[in-house]
Amino acid sequence: MNWLKSYSLIRKISMHRIILEMHNKVIQGKRCHDKVSRTLVTQGVQEPSDLPRDAHTR
């Protein structure tokens, strides 16, 4: 019984760690994307969401 409890606890902790790592990766990815979109905006390049509207007006 005690061994089972400790095993489940270890599994919970490892799952939590995995989830945290995935979350951190997602946050880093978002940050990277924000940086890229910011540089695009500063260079005067429109974001993809604006491109279709622009194509219609031409």
Residue 1 pLDDT: 61
Name the more confident of 4 and 16. 16
Residue 37 pLDDT: 73
Give the model's confidence band at 43: pLDDT under 50 very low, under 70 low, under 90 confident, else very high.
Answer: low
Can you tell me the mean pLDDT for 41-45?
A: 64
- Average model confidence (pLDDT) across the chain: 74
Cα angle vertex 24, ends 20, 32, to 5°? 170
CA 7 to chain centroid = 31
Q: Residues 46, 54: contact at Cβ < 8 Å?
A: yes
Residue 10 pLDDT: 86
CA 5 to chain centroid = 33
